[in-house]
Structures are given as C-alpha cells and as structure tokens.
Amino acid sequence: DAGITQSPRYKITETGRQVTLMCHQTWSHSYMFWYRQDLGHGLRLIYYSAAADITDKGEVPDGYVVSRSKTENFPLTLESATRSQTSVYFCASSVGRGGNEQFFGPGTRLTVL
Amino acid sequence: ELKVEQNPLFLSMQEGKNYTIYCNYSTTSDRLYWYRQDPGKSLESLFVLLSNGAVKQEGRLMASLDTKARLSTLHITAAVHDLSATYFCAVDRYQGGSEKLVFGKGTKLTVNP
C-alpha cells in the first residue's frame, strides 16, 4: 500500500527486552522522523534522518537507536526497554528541502511492563 | 531555541459557536502547519501556510499566518460535533541543514451539542 506504515501497531514487552519498531514509506521522501507522544508532553522528537545513512538525535534520544540503510525504511530500536518508554510512537516523513510538511504513520502503542 | 505556544490548551464550546485557537512562536519562520488528531488516531495534515498573510480555508476551519507577529490562528465557524479533536500547530525550524518541525502542545477541542 502506498503511504507510510508502521508495525507492529500494538506491542507489549517486558523491562530489559529489546524492541524494534518498523516504519516504511513509499513516497521516497528524504526525511524521516520518530516521535513519541505522551500525555502532558505533546509530541517529542526522538531521532530523525535526512537521507539514507544520515541520522541525528532529536529532543529525547536516550535509550533509542535508529538506522537507515534504505530510503524507505527507518526502524527504531529500544535496546533495553524501560517502563518510561511506554508511549505511542509515530513515524513521519517529509520531502525536505523546503517541503517540510510531515506525513504521519498510524502509530505504534508500546507498553513496557 | 524555537518555542511554539498554543492557547487555549483545552476548549469546550457549543455547537454553532465561533472560536479561535492561537499559535505563537518565538523566532522567525515563514512556514507553519496545522494538524488534527482524533482520539487514538494519528496526525492528519490540515493546512500548510507558506508565507506572510497566507490564509487557507476548508469547511468550517480557516487558518491564517502573520509572520511579523509570529502568530497563526485557526478559526472555527459554527462548530459542529465532528470538529472535536486535538489541533496542533507546527513551525519550521531549519537548523544545521536539517529541516525539523517544532510542535505546539495541542489544543483539545470538544464541541458539545
């Protein structure tokens, strides 16, 4: 399907486990972003990527790792999940270079027990 | 550091009434975006405002941008229940060659019959 997709949509895991959230876009957008959304904090940027093999930290990167070997994929890994990482995670993409409207995926609701 | 403030954060209004949501930002930018988020859903792009004086309208919503005042407004005309959602504004932040958006905390709108 065209657009931006995330998987899984829901995930329950335990403290200390590694978890990878997947994001895939079919628009060939240059920029991709990971946000987390928590009550009282709004949207917070975790990591972003300007192109394949180019990533940079956002506002709250600790405890997360990203990679971008292909333009269309931008996985987010929680190396050792903590309860504070329970959240809704959104992936987004944009054309960049002046076209900065971001298009959001459906989100992944992650619960860490 | 670019800061984006929305007010009010919570808005309860009756059907048929008019109201305005305000989005102020702290540094120069001439691109602003409005998003809508329904409960449990992702963010959907509503308006893209790309220059001073830009005005966009769709249905009962109208957005405008005053870059000199660093202010955008989202005006709701004759509200209906279907407009109940959380509305976010986001401002372009071009920093270090990477194009990111800074989001306001959102305005949760409830339209009562």
Chain segment A49-108, per-residue pLDDT in tens? 999 999 999 999 999 999 999 999 999 999 999 999 999 999 999 987 666 899 999 999
* A58 CB within 8 Å of a chain B CB: yes
* Beta carbons of B14 and B4 less than 8 angstroms apart: no
Per-residue pLDDT tens over the stretch B22-54: 999 998 877 899 999 999 999 999 999 988 889
- The residue of chain B with its CA nearest to that of A105 is B42
* Beta carbons of B9 and B33 less than 8 angstroms apart: no
* Smallest Cα distance from B10 to chain A, Å: 12
Backbone angles phi, psi at A81, to 5 degrees: -60, 140
* Beta carbons of B74 and B63 less than 8 angstroms apart: yes
Report residue B95's pLDDT band, with 50, 70 and 90 as the boundaries.
low
Mutation site, B101, B102, B108, interface A, largest A CB count within 10 A? B101
* Cβ burial B92-108 (10 Å sphere, 16+ → b, else e): bbeeeeebbbbbbbbbb
* Beta carbons of B36 and B44 less than 8 angstroms apart: yes
